[in-house]
Amino acid sequence: MTDEADNQRHQMKMQRRKEVQDQEVAEKTIEKGLLAINTGPGKGKSTAAFGLALRMLGRGKRVIVVQFIKGAWSTGEKIALERFDDLLEWHTLGEGFTWETQDKGRDIAAAVRAWEVSRIALRREDVGLVVLDELNIALRYDYLPLEMVLEDLAARPTMQHVVITGRNAPAALVEAADLVTEMTLVKHHFKAGVKAQEGIEF
């Protein structure tokens, strides 16, 4: 139990902190569509993007998901988010991870098709969020010209948000972004022999 003097010190400290916080919030006046990147070696990059998609859908905003690289396998997030079929478009346009396809020409062709769909999404004024899942992987392997991607992202509607996922985000993309989060790998159950499980990995 704390005494009265301790409570008063805590209250004064929190009041000062609230004043600083309120002032900082009041100074932020810009409203714009954000370019966000989830990258790094840790787990959760796509999961975080789909959480943002859920938040947008909850606010009645239209969302388009374009998946690069990943093949058309059933995932829990897709099943869940498709319940918002009046607001959601989901395009899985990859043919599987690069070590599975083992065909660079096919991978490039799939990435080009996915970017054509992405480009249409990035021109739509009625879309609140575009999720470009694993785009960083396609850029890492030079399946798409980075300059073209940057130009299309810059030309999107002013209030449209975009989140890009995948390891090894290119430096120029990081520079263009408003928000960059790097997932850090501390420990992963896969290393201990635990297989990918429904509801966790997919």
7 and 51 fall within a common domain:
no
Tens of pLDDT along 151-202? 999 999 999 999 999 999 999 999 999 999 999 999 988 888 889 888 888 7
- Domain of residue 1, residue span: 1-30
Strand, coil or helix: 155: coil
One domain for residues 88 and 115:
yes
| Torsion over CA: 78, 41, 160, 144 (sign) | negative
User: Do 64 and 126 fall into the same domain?
Assistant: yes
- Domain CATH for 170: 3.40.50.300
202 within some domain: no
Q: Are residues 86 and 137 in the same domain?
A: yes
Q: Is 143 exposed, middle or buried (0-12, 13-18, 19+ CB in 10 A)?
A: buried
For Cα atoms 45, 139, 200, give the angle at the middle one, nearest 5 degrees: 20
Q: What is the residue whose two structure tokens read 């569509």?
A: 33
| Two tokens, residue 51 | 């959480």
Q: Starting at the earlier edge strand, list the strands of the sheet with 127-133.
A: 88-92, 62-67, 127-133, 161-165, 35-39, 179-182
Each residue's pLDDT tens digit, 113-144: 999 999 999 999 999 999 999 999 999 999 99
On whether both 153 and 79 belong to a single domain, the answer is: yes
